[in-house]
Structure 1
Amino acid sequence: MPSNKTELAARLDAVQSGDSVRGLFFKSVLSLVQQHAGLAGLETVRADALTAAYSDLLTYPARDFLTLLYRAADVLELSVGPEAAVFHACGERDVARFSTGPGMLIFGIISRGDPQKLFAGVQMGYSAAVSYGSRDYVPTGPTSGTLHMRRDMLPPAYHEGILTGALKVLNLRGTARATPRGIDSADYAIQWD
C-alpha cells in the first residue's frame, strides 16, 4: 500500500520557510534505499526535485527530506514493511550515522554512555541536525523519560527510530512510543534496560 500522501501534504503544510535538515540524513536514507531496493529503487526515490548529491554538513529543505521519506516508504514497503516500519528504519539508520559524525560530541563526551544525559541534551543534538522545532526531556524514572517535541513535522515513527537507535548506539535495548499531539508535535515515552 503506498504511503499516506494526504498525511505527507499536511506535514508539508507545517514546514516553514527556512526549515532545513543536514545532508547526512538524506544520504543515510538513500543508502538504506539502495541497500534494500538497489539502484532502480534509488532512482525512483531520487526522481524529480531531489538534489543529485548531498554534502553531510550542508543543510537542505525539510520539504525535500519529508518527500524523500515518503518516497522511501513506497519503494521499501515490500522489503522493510509498512510506512511506519520504513520511517522507523530510516530514523535508526540516521541516528547511527549521526552518532559517528556531528553527534560524536553528544554521544561520546556529553552523555558518556548515560541515556539520561543523552536525552537531557536532545535539543542540542537536534539543533545540530535540523533548523526547526523544540524538544524538552523530562526523566520519569531511573530508566525512563518523556520527550516533548513541538514544531517537528517528521513522522512520529521516524523519531521513534531515532530514539531507539540512540539507545542502541549506547548498547542498550529500549522502546520509544509516540503520543501524537498534532501534525507537528508529539510526546515520546522512552524506556530502556
Structure 2
Amino acid sequence: MPSDKAELAARIASLQPGDSIRGLIFKSVFGLVQQHAGAIGMEKLRTGELDHDYAELRSYPAREFLTLMFNAADLLEGTFGSAEGVFHACGEVSITRYSTGPGMLVFGIISRGDPQKLFAGAQMAYSAAVSYGNREYLTTGPKSGTLRMRRDMMPPAYHVGILTGSLKVLGLTGKATAKAQGIDRVDYDIQWS
C-alpha cells in the first residue's frame, strides 16, 4: 500500500520557512534505498526535487527530506512490511552509521556509555543535524526516560528508529514508544537493559 500522501501533505504544511536537515541524513536514506532496491530503486527515487547531489554538511529543506522518506516508503514497504517500518529503518540507519570510526568517538564523548547522558544531550545532537524543533529529556528511572519533541514534523516511527538505534550503538537493547500529542508534538518513552 502506498505511503499516506495526506499525512505527507500535513507534515509539509507544519513546516516553517528555513526548516532544514543536513545532507548526511539524506545520504543515510539514499544508502538504505541503494542497499535494498539497488540502482533501479535509486533511479525511481532521484526525481523531481530529489534529483541533485547532497553534500553531507550542507543543509537542505526539510520538505525534501519528508518527500524522500515517503517516497522511500513506497519503494521499500515490501522489504520492511509497512511505511512505518521503512521510517523506523530510515531513523535507525541515520544513527547506526556511527557505530564505527569517528562517529563512535563522538557518541562515546557525548554519552560516556550512559544512555541517560546521551538522551539528555538530545537537543544538542539534533541541533547539529536539523534547524527546527525542541527536545527535552526527563529521566523516569535508572534505565528509562521520556524524550519530549516539539515542532518536529517527522513521522514518530523515524524517531523511534533513531532512539533504538542509539541504544544499539551503545551495545544495549531497548525500546521506544511514541505517544503523539499532535502532528509535530510527540513524547517518546525509552527503556533499555
What range is the shorter-chain TM-score in? over 0.9
For 2:170 and 2:131, the matched residues in 1 are separated by: 25
* 1:136 matched residue in structure 2: 136
Q: Identity of aligned pairs, percent?
A: 66
For 2:135 and 2:105, the matched residues in 1 are separated by: 18
Does the 8 Å contact 1:22/1:130 carry over to 2?
yes
Q: Summarize the alignment of residues 24-173 of structure 1 with structure 2, pairs less than 5 Å apart.
A: 24-98=24-98, 104=104, 106-173=106-173
**Match for 1:2: what amino acid?**
P
Does the 8 Å contact 1:22/1:56 carry over to 2?
yes
Does the 8 Å contact 1:106/1:118 carry over to 2?
no
- Cα 1:101–1:6, aligned 2, differ >3 Å: closer, same or farther? farther
Note if 1:186 corresponds to 2:186: yes
For the residue of structure 2 that corresponds to 1:190, the secondary structure is strand
Does the 8 Å contact 2:98/2:169 carry over to 1?
no
Does the 8 Å contact 1:106/1:125 carry over to 2?
no
Alpha-carbon offset, residue 105 of structure 1: 6.2
- Cα 1:100–1:65, aligned 2, differ >3 Å: closer, same or farther? farther
Give the TM-score taking structure 1 as reference length.
Answer: 0.96
For the residue of structure 2 that corresponds to 1:128, the secondary structure is helix
**Which of structure 1's runs of 4+ aligned residues deviate more than 3 A?**
98-106
- Cα 1:133–1:102, aligned 2, differ >3 Å: closer, same or farther? farther
Q: Please give the root-mean-square deviation of Cα atoms over the aligned residues, in Å.
A: 1.5
For 2:6 and 2:91, the matched residues in 1 are separated by: 21
For 1:157 and 1:175, the matched residues in 2 are separated by: 12
Show CA shifts across 1:90-109 (max 9, x none). Answer: 00000122566886565111
